[in-house]
Amino acid sequence: MYIDKIKMTQFRSFRETKIDFIHPDQNFAKLQMPKPKLRNVNVLLGNNGSGKTTLLKAIAIAALGPAVEDANLPVYRLIRREPKEPKNRTIRGETAEAVIEARFATHEQDGHGKDALQSQAVITRRGDLERLRWSHPEENRWHPIFSSESEAFFFVGYGVTRRVESQERVDPGARQAASFLRAQRIRSLFEDAYSLMPLSFWLPRLKESNPGRFTQVRNLIDRFLGHTGYSFTGQLELGEYLFEKGALKIPFPALADGYRAYLGWIGDLLYHVCNTCPTGKKLVQNKGIVMVDEVDLHLHPKWQMTIVPLLAKTLPDIQFIVTSHSPLIVGSLEWMNIMLMAPGPQQTTKAKRLESAVHGLDADQVLLTDFFGLHTTRAPGKKRTLKELSLAAREGDTEAARQLMEEMSRGMEATK
């Protein structure tokens, strides 16, 4: 399944917003936009608090269909509270609600061919309590969502914490008691403490039961590592998988934070892909939705420049919806791939695409576009100095003009 569009009403910063998403089967002519080179990537931009994570949560809620009522998600303050809303409203016990409506494109993997699938969920509030409720009249086509063994409706989401549980502490029974499998796949978007499935827990079993798929996983991890210089050995040492760089082999817990954060959610994703990929299909042919909050988290700028295209090309049939603050990620994509969470009046948000050519610009150029809205990338003190010298140079001060050229090419602090 892919998400086509979503409408949110009174959902946190979204008072009433409609958003179209791109995916490999999208009708781009209908959206009145050219086809991007990467047709499976949606990057959400915006300032802190603009609703990027909120949008990921809305997609996750909609994707659960009628199973949303049984997901046991820790929802908290999802319903929008207007700035002038009476303070005593919750004391009186009045009911408020938010509505999420979505349309999904389905595939043979979902059991419906390429038919549209509708979802509608309502979040109601009474007092300080909020609860999720399915409200669309058509439910029959969603019935595979209730089966943990069904290959249909694949979607997974990752919050910013992305903590990987140690092999010894993984308790599948406890996870199942807390929520069913499909809800587990998006739980980290709602719960910071939720931990991901470690490679060392599930991959050794796959090697024994399905050597062919084990080889596919090993090759995919290597591809996900790109040009980092690391490779996945597929070997265990004291119960942990080893990664190799040069002649040095490093167990997963000893990797740098950036690598562990990245490989942590990649390993969890491949676990779910293996469990849902149709029999007889390669793992790269699995279709579905993958959401990642702050996809550039802990990544060096050199890696940020390539990470999203790498994900998109490694799993070309997956629809990626990710958030970011990185101008390097924006510069690696086209404007069709990018949605800006633009601020509106009274702390509202509207999502929009800016038809502004951005692919290939350097980081400073990107930051000065409307995608980020900065007027300068210089420190405030430097900005004042340059402005004073520039004004003096305009009046004919040749010494000021010389100093201006020097100041533009060096930092402010003293050096030896």
Residue 212 lies in a domain: no
- 349 and 384 part of one domain: no
**Whole-model pTM above 0.85?**
yes
Strand 318-323 to 14-20 pairing: unpaired
The domain tally of the chain equals 2
Query: What pLDDT was estimated at residue 162?
Result: 83
Hey, is 31 helix, strand or coil?
coil
- 51 and 169 part of one domain: yes
Q: How many residues does the chain have?
A: 416
Tokens for 212, please give them: 């062919």
CATH number at residue 137: 3.40.50.300
For residue range 104-155, list pLDDT tens digits in order. 999 989 986 677 999 999 999 888 889 999 999 889 899 999 988 889 999 9
Under DSSP, the state recorded for 71 is: S
Q: Which residues pair with 164 in a beta bridge?
A: 196
CA atoms within 13 A on the CB side of 155: 28
Residue showing tokens 């609703």: 51
- 352 and 390 part of one domain: no
For residue range 298-325, list pLDDT tens digits in order. 899 999 999 999 999 999 999 999 999 9
179/253 Cα distance (integer angstroms) = 28
- Mind giving me the DSSP string for 134-161? E--S--GGGGGGG-TT--SS-EEEE-S-
Residue 246 lies in a domain: no
Domain that holds residue 389: 378-416
13/49 Cα distance (integer angstroms) = 8
Query: What's the whole-number mean pLDDT along residues 175-183?
Result: 75
For residue range 354-396, list pLDDT tens digits in order. 999 999 999 989 998 999 988 887 777 777 877 788 788 788 8
Tokens for 112, please give them: 């419906």
- 51 and 89 part of one domain: yes
- 139 and 92 part of one domain: yes
Residue 207 lies in a domain: no
Pairwise pLDDT comparison (328 vs 89), residue with the higher score: 328
Cβ atoms of residues 368 and 377 within 8 Å: yes
Residue showing tokens 């991959």: 203
